[in-house]
Structure 1
Amino acid sequence: MKDILKTGLILFIISAVAAFALAMTNEVTKDKIAEQRQMANELAKKEVLAAASSFEDVTGDELATIVAKFAPVVEVYKGLDDGGNIVGYVFKSTPNGFGGSVEVVTGIDSEGTLSGVRIGNHNETPGLGAKATDPSFYEQYAGMSTDTPIGVAKSNPTETDIQAITGATISSRGVTSGVNASIDAFYSINGN
């Protein structure tokens, strides 16, 4: 009986020390992690709307209305040139893919053309749905018109379709649903 208590006490002490060490590591690194996420967010915005020199958050009631009406859109940014003129919008959406939520950043210029798409955090299957982060997939969206919803084709895509990732049609449809929600939000902002 003494051996069981001794072993249990030793395991408890080891677990407590490990938990404390993890908590301290988290405390020390949380600001750096938040800074890295912010930098990645800024880079993604610049990549999808290169014409913008700065971005302004859409907030308050306007954002609340967009988020409520155009789920899975969760964030909206106005892209501004050096003179403060709007050159387009960037939308962050979190549609569902095969492995759960996929972060999709979509840029739409003021002419209504998709200027770019990037994929952020996701839990898609490595080697399949995770290929959404490959330029060969997300670059298909650049330059597409927003006049009609974008479709997903397993083969022979038209000018309004993207080619699905082989073996990951659900992931491809998830990303595309985020892009289409962003397009709808764009037209709502512009009064169409």
Structure 2
Amino acid sequence: MREVIKLGLILLLITSVAAIVLGLTNSVTEDVIQEVEAEASKEARLEALPQADSFKQIDEDIFSKIKEENSKVVEVYVGYSGEEVVGYAIKTATPGYGANIEVITGISVDNQLTGMKVGSHQETPGLGANATKAEFQNQYKDKSTDEEIVVVKTPPSKDNEIQALTGATISSNAVTDGVNIAREIYNSILAE
């Protein structure tokens, strides 16, 4: 009996030390992780809205109104070329196969999708994770914000269609849902 208690106390001591070390490591690296994530988001915004050379978060009151309309919107940035507004970069998070898929959608002030970039995701490698490839993402460029984007399994025959990733219809639909949410937010609030 004493041997079991002794082993239990040793195990408790080891796990306590490990927890303290992990906690300290997390607190030291937390700022660095946030900086890396912020830089990745900035680069994704530039890819989604290449006409812009700088971005500024949208006014807090407008963002609150957007969040009321759709809780899947994570952030909204106004894109500028010099002092001129050239469009918006809208980040959404929609449920995919593995977890939420973050999508940054670029929309120009002339009602065109300028691009999209898949951010963090937990989709299956070789299937849903292929949504990060340029071949898939480039299908969204130059689509009008007037019509809902639709996922099809065959080569697209209409301007508003996107071909699904093979074996990853759920992921394809999740990405397209994110783009459509951004399109709807633009049409209902930002284009006014």
- Alignment correspondent of 1:63: 63
Partner residue, 1:116 = 115
User: What CA distance in whole angstroms lies between the structure 1 residues aligned with 2:33 and 2:73?
Assistant: 23
Which is strand-richer, 1 or 2?
2
SS state at 1:98 partner = coil
Q: Which residue of 2 aligns with 1:169?
A: 169
2: distance between equivalents of 1:91 and 1:40? 14
* 1:18 alignment counterpart: 18
After the TM superposition, which parts of structure 1 deviate over 2 Å for at least 4 consecutive aligned residues?
none
Per-residue Cα deviation, 1:90-140 (whole angstroms, up to 9, x for no partner): 000001111121100000111111111001111112221111111111111
- Under a length normalisation based on structure 2, what TM-score does the superposition of the two structures give? 0.95
Task: Provide TM-score, normalisation by structure 1.
Answer: 0.95
Return the letter of the residue paired with 1:99.
Answer: G
The answer for the alignment partner of 2:9 in structure 1 is 9
Aligned to 2:156: 157
CA distance in 1 between counterparts of 2:80 and 2:70 reads: 23
- Look up the match of 2:32: 32
Q: Deviations over 1:61-118 (max 9, x none)?
A: 2101112213422211110111x11000000000111112110000011111111100
Indicate conservation of the 8 Å contact 1:71/1:181, yes or no.
no
Residue 134 of structure 1 is matched in structure 2 by 133
Q: Which runs of 5+ in 1 are unaligned?
A: none
